[in-house]
Each structure stands twice: as C-alpha cells, then as structure tokens.
C-alpha cells in the first residue's frame, strides 16, 4: 500500500510520518521486511507505510527517492535530493501545524517484535533499535587526518581525510576513506539536528566555526598559530564524529553513513554563516528564545524538573572549570617560554663565568632548564587536548541537552494549544446549536464536526508526541550520563598519567644535574 517508499534507514525514523496517521492502523502491520540499510543482502526494501512522505513534508526533507531495490542507488539518488538549501528544514517546530509527529509507531500500536537480524526498523520501537544492533557489537573507529589546503585565497578551504574502520554490517566496507571539508561536517550536524532534536535525541554539536582562525589559514599564514588551529580543529572533528556514531540511532542514519562512505558529498551551502539559510537560522533561534520565555509549562514530572536543574548546575561548573583550565594552559605556555628564555640567559652567564667548574655547572643548568621547557610545552599540550577540549565539548553538549528539554516544552505547548483550539471549536459548535439560520446551519454544523474530529485526532497525537519525547529524553539522558561518566573517567586518568610522566622526567633531569652541582670545587 505504500505508494512511495521511504528509504528504510533506521536513522530516518524521525522523518517518516509527515502525515497524520489517519489510516495509521495499517501502517506497520503490512510492512514486509527488512532492510537493514544498506545491507545488500536484504531482499526487499522495507515497504514504507507512510505514504507520500516526501511530497508534503513541511518538515525535514526526506530523501525523496523512488525506492529502488538496490541500496547502492539509493545513495546516488539521495545525494541529489538532499536539500542543500532547505531553509524549511530548520524551523520545523516553528510551524504551526507542523507535521513533525511521532516517528515510529508508538509501542501501543504495535507489539514489539524481537526480530533480530533483518527486522524492519519500522516494526520495532526505538527501544529495540538501541538495544540491539543486529548482533553487531559497537565496533567502529573513525580517524580524521591529513589536513590539506585546497585552493587559494578567500575561497580556499581545508580538506580532511576521514577514515572509517569497522566490522559493523551497516557499512559497505570494512575500511573507507573519504575527503571532507569543514562545512560538510556542519552540514551533517545540521541534518541530524533537524531530524532528531525535535523528538528528543541529543545530537552531538559540531565544532565551532572560527572566522579568524580560518581566515589566517586561507590567507596562507604558515605560522605556529595556524598550525595549532588546524590541529585543534582536526581533533575536534574527530571527536565529533566518534560521538555521533556512538549514538546507536544516529549511527544508522543514512546521512551519517553517506558522510562516512560516499566519495562525493553535495556541498552544504546552507551552513555558511552569511547564507540565506544561515540568516533564517538566526532568526529562528531568536524566535525560539522568545517562545521559550513565554511557555510556562506545568511540570508534572519531578524527574524532569530535577534533571533540568542538575544540568543547569553542571553547565555552570563545567564552564568555570573550562575557564580555569584554559587559564592553566595559557600560563603553562608562558612558563615554557620563560623557562626557555632563562635557559639561554643561564648559558650566557655560564660562558662569562671564569671559574671553570662553576661555568660548566651553569651550562648544565641551562641544559636542564631547556629540557624542562619542552616538558612544560608537552604538559600544556596535554592540558589542552585532554582536559580543556573535553570540557569545551561537554559545555556544548549540555547546550544540546538543554535544547532537547526545550523541545519537550514546545511539544507540550503545541499539545496544549491544540487542546485549546479544540475546546474553542466545541464551544462554537454548541453555539451553532442555538443559531437561528437553519439553512446555513447544517452546512456549518458539518464543517465544525469535521474540524472537531480532526482536532481530536491532533490532540491525541499531541499527547502521544509529548509522552514519546518524554520517554526518549529519559533514555537519552541516561545514555548521556553513562557516556559522560565514561568520558570523564577516561580523560581524568589519561590526564593524571600525563602529569605522572612529567614528574618522572623532572626527576630524571634534576638527578642528572645534582652531581654536576656538587662537582663545583
């Protein structure tokens, strides 16, 4: 019954239903099988229940592809369809009667089938998708490397090599290498955010743009600071990708997979800061901020209240910590510079000292200090890449978490608004009963009845949406917290190990110097 088929990738779960599921009952029952996208082995592409999804979508554009049997083709076609411009994408929730509705059949409609392997994702609730990776254990490693400047002048950009090594079956090959530029990453994030944020998934934020940093690189400044900038960015991009694929749902998103595997990617023009889409984004952000202030939600669930507060506190402290660590990095770099300078000075002093043994000792001191200077540099590097960048990442991640909470509020608000509208319509209906114009009456009555039915459906849907997003957020938060704990524990240990190494080296250097000092006669 599916007129148009939707590419089945799990990740698109969010997009599928753009239409109110009027004939929703049928939706998933008829679904045939499997396509664990893009398993070539799978027989049929999943017959997508949702009809005309692509056509009337106001929301995130789906890959409007005529679904072919061949998954490979999907890619090819998909590239064209992927909306480069889609300004409509961003303001999904600002639309009034936005069709952004529950992605997957709420579990109430469908008994979750524990089919493994080739289970159609639309048949399963998202619960299962996350718990069961088709028997695949999470095994994927992404490296971003080899930054290379492409082009010249203000149109130049940095290209990065993205290498994916995996044994997971959702990927075509065990190892893929592609070249991507920064705007590609931003484009990926933009797509993921538009698909998943509004249904409660915490989408890892992409690294920040830096006009100053990039301009230096474009202009061709081959100095230390641009090299540092490129390295900082490379590392950030790598972390971004790894975080994204660690999310069980995002990992299977076709956009993600395409990003990692496809050799050519359409340019994500809409990510440019000054593009039309960019400006629209900014306007919408402002609108959102205003809306946020005006929505007063009756929080019936203490869990959300508590978590919200917790994240506020965490945000505050992490920012503070981040600032202190940045200051430490700065001072350590300063210390390194000053130590090097002192080392030179001590060497000069040793040269002019006319007592031979003392002169030699002073030269040795200069050497020790030089080595210590390099030690400080290395430590500053560790301070930064281990500690400071992690904190920066989490500050941004928490912003994403907070926005997900906001989405929930919006969902609630929409539901309430629909309810109010329904109420008004009912009142109008009641009024009509007592109207005095019989000829118009019947027609008006019918109209209103239709509208009321429609609204009742919407209200029901609104409630379901709200419940679903609440449920999703709970899961997401719990997953986020687990990741956070793992990340911080790992980084803290690595950082302490770097400190241990520094001290061990220091001991070596001073132990070597001590006999020299004692030898001064």
Partner 1 sequence: MMPRAVNVDLQTDATLQVDISDALSERDKVKFTVHTKSTLPNFKQNEFSVVRQHEEFIWLHDSFVENEEYAGYIIPPAPPRPDFDASREKLQKLGEGEGSMTKEEFTKMKQELEAEYLAIFKKTVAMHEVFLCRVAAHPVLRKDLNFHVFLEYNQDLSVRGKNKREKMEDFFKNVVKSADGVLVAGVKDVDDFFEHEKTFLLEYHNRVKDASAKSDRMIRSHKSAADDINRIASTLYTLGTQDSTDVCKFFLKVSELFEKTRKIEARVAADEDLKLADLLKYYLRESQAAKDLLYRRGRALVDYENANKALDKARAKNKDVLQAETSQQVCCQKFEKISESAKQELIDFKTRRVAAFRKNLVELAELELKHAKGNLQLLQSCLGVLKGDT
Query: Which residues between 254 and 313 bind partner 1 (CB under 8 A)?
Result: 310, 313
* Of 5-13, 55-63, 84-92, 346-354: span binding partner 1 (CB under 8 A): 346-354
Q: Could you tell me which stretch among 232-240, 324-332, 404-412, 431-439 binds partner 1 (CB under 8 A)?
A: 324-332
Tell which residue, 161, 199, 176, has the closest CA to residue 59. 199
Instruction: Give the one residue of 114, 219, 297, 348 binding partner 1; rule: CB under 8 A.
Output: 348
Give 98's contacts (C-beta < 8 A, 6+ positions apart). 58, 59, 92, 414
Minimum gap (Å) between residue 113 Cβ and partner 1: 34
- Could you tell me which of 452, 447, 455 has the C-alpha nearest to residue 418? 455
Quick one: 161 or 494, whose CB is closer to partner 1? 494
Question: Which listed range, 91-99, 172-180, 245-253, 340-348, lies at the site for partner 1 (CB under 8 A)?
Answer: 340-348
One residue of 55, 116, 287, 499 binding partner 1 per CB under 8 A: 499
Is 335 among the residues that bind partner 1 (CB under 8 A)? yes
Residues 21 and 133 sit within 8 Å (Cβ to Cβ): no
* Coil/strand/helix, residue 103: coil
Query: Which residue of 95, 334, 447, 450 would you call a contact of partner 1, by CB under 8 A?
Result: 334
For partner 1, the closer CB: 76 or 337: 337
Instruction: Tell me the number of residues near partner 1 by CB under 8 A.
Output: 56
Distance CA 318, CA 312 (A): 10
Residue 88 CB, nearest approach to partner 1 (Å): 39
Q: Which stretch binds partner 1 (CB under 8 A): 117-125, 171-179, 421-429, 512-520?
A: 512-520
Mapping DSSP onto H, E and C, the string for 61-101 reads: CCCCCCCCCCHHHHHHHHHHHCCCCCCCCHHHCCCCCCCCC
| Interface residue with partner 1, options 203, 236, 365, 400 (CB under 8 A) | 365
Identify the three-state secondary structure at position 149. Answer: strand
Task: Please say whether the dihedral angle defined by the alpha carbons of residues 302, 308, 186 and 166, taken in this order, is positive or negative.
Answer: negative
Pick the closer one to partner 1 by CB: 22 or 354: 354
Tally of residues, the chain: 521
What is d(CA 401, CA 308) in angstroms, rounded to the nearest whole number? 9
Q: Which of 155, 352, 433, 443 binds partner 1 (CB under 8 A)?
A: 352
Residue window 474-493: x/- pattern of binding to partner 1, with contact defined by CB under 8 A: -------x--xx--xx--xx
Nearer to partner 1, 273 or 357 (CB): 357
**How many C-beta atoms lie closer than 10 Å to residue 390's C-beta?**
21
Regarding 504 and contact with partner 1 (CB under 8 A), the answer is yes
Query: How many angstroms separate the CA atoms of 358 and 372, rounded?
Result: 21
Q: Rule CB under 8 A: say whether 223 interacts with partner 1.
A: no
| Of 107 and 377, CB closest to partner 1 | 377
Torsion angles phi and psi, residue 301, rounded to 5: -110, 110
Q: Does 362 bind partner 1 (CB under 8 A)?
A: yes
What CA–CA distance (Å, rounded) separates 18 from 60?
9
Phi-psi group of 83: left, alpha or beta (phi > 0 → left; psi -120 to 50 → alpha; rest → beta): beta
In the list 143, 242, 328, 448, the residue contacting partner 1 (rule: CB under 8 A) is 328
Span interacting with partner 1, options 79-87, 207-215, 284-292, 350-358, rule CB under 8 A? 350-358
Sole binder of partner 1 in the list 63, 239, 243, 332 (CB under 8 A): 332
CB atoms within 10 A of CB 403: 18
Torsion of CA 384, 388, 392, 394, to 10 degrees: 130
Q: What angle do CA 375, 377, 380 make, to 5 degrees?
A: 110
Query: Rounded to the nearest 5 degrees, what angle is found at the Cα of 90, between the Cα atoms of 86 and 92?
Result: 110
Could you list the residues that contact partner 1 (CB under 8 A)?
A: 310, 313-314, 317-318, 320-321, 324-325, 327-328, 331-332, 334-335, 338-339, 341-342, 344-346, 348-349, 351-355, 357-358, 361-362, 365, 481, 484-485, 488-489, 492-493, 496-497, 499-500, 503-504, 506-507, 510-511, 513-514, 517-518, 520
């Amino acid at each position: 019954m599916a007129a148009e088929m939707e590419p089945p990738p799990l990740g698109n779960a969010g997009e599928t239903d753009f239409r109110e599921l009027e004939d929703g009952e049928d939706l998933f029952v008829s679904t045939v099988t499997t396509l664990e996208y893009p398993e070539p082995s799978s027989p049929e592409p999943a017959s997508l229940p949702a009809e005309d999804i692509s056509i009337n979508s106001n929301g995130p554009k789906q890959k409007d592809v005529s679904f072919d049997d061949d998954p490979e083709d999907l890619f090819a076609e998909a590239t064209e369809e992927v909306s480069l411009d889609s300004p409509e994408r961003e303001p999904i929730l600002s639309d009034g009667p936005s069709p952004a509705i529950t992605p997957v059949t709420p579990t109430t409609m469908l008994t979750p089938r524990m089919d493994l392997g080739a289970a159609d994702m639309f048949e399963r609730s998202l619960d299962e998708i996350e718990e069961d990776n088709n028997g695949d254990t999470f095994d994927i490693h992404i490296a971003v490397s080899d930054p290379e400047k492409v082009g010249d002048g203000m149109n130049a950009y940095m290209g990065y090599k993205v290498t994916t090594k995996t044994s997971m079956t959702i990927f075509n090959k065990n190892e893929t290498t592609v070249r991507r530029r920064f705007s590609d990453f931003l484009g990926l994030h933009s797509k993921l955010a538009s698909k998943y944020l509004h249904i409660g998934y915490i989408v890892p934020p992409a690294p920040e743009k830096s006009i100053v940093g990039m301009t230096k690189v474009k202009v061709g400044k081959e100095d230390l600071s641009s090299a540092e900038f490129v390295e900082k960015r490379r590392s950030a991009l790598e972390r971004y990708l790894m975080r994204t694929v660690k999310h069980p749902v995002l990992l299977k998103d076709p956009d993600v997979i395409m990003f990692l595997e496809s050799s050519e990617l359409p340019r994500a023009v809409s990510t440019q800061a000054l593009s039309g889409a960019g400006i629209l984004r900014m306007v919408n952000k402002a609108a959102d901020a205003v809306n946020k202030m005006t929505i007063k939600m009756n929080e019936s669930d203490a869990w959300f209240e508590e978590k919200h507060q917790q994240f506020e506190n965490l945000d505050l402290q992490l920012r503070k910590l981040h600032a202190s660590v940045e200051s430490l990095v700065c001072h350590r770099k300063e210390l390194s510079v000053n130590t090097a300078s002192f080392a030179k000075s001590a060497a000069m002093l040793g040269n002019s000292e006319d007592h031979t043994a003392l002169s030699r000792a002073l030269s040795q001191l200069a050497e020790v200090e030089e080595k210590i200077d390099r030690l400080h540099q290395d430590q500053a590097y560790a301070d930064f890449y281990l500690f400071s960048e992690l904190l920066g990442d989490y500050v941004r991640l928490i912003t994403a978490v907070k926005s997900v909470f906001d989405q929930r509020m919006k969902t609630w608000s929409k539901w309430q608004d629909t309810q109010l509208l329904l109420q008004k319509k009912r009142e109008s209906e009641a009024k009509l009963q007592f109207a005095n114009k019989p000829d118009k009456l019947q027609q008006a009555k019918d109209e209103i009845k239709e509208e009321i039915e429609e609204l009742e459906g919407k209200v029901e849907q609104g409630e379901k949406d709200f419940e679903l997003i609440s449920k999703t957020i709970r899961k997401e938060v719990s997953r986020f917290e687990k990741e956070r704990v793992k990340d911080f524990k790992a980084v803290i240990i690595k950082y302490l190990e770097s400190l241990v190494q520094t001290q061990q080296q220091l001991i070596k250097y001073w132990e070597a110097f001590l006999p020299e000092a004692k030898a001064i006669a």
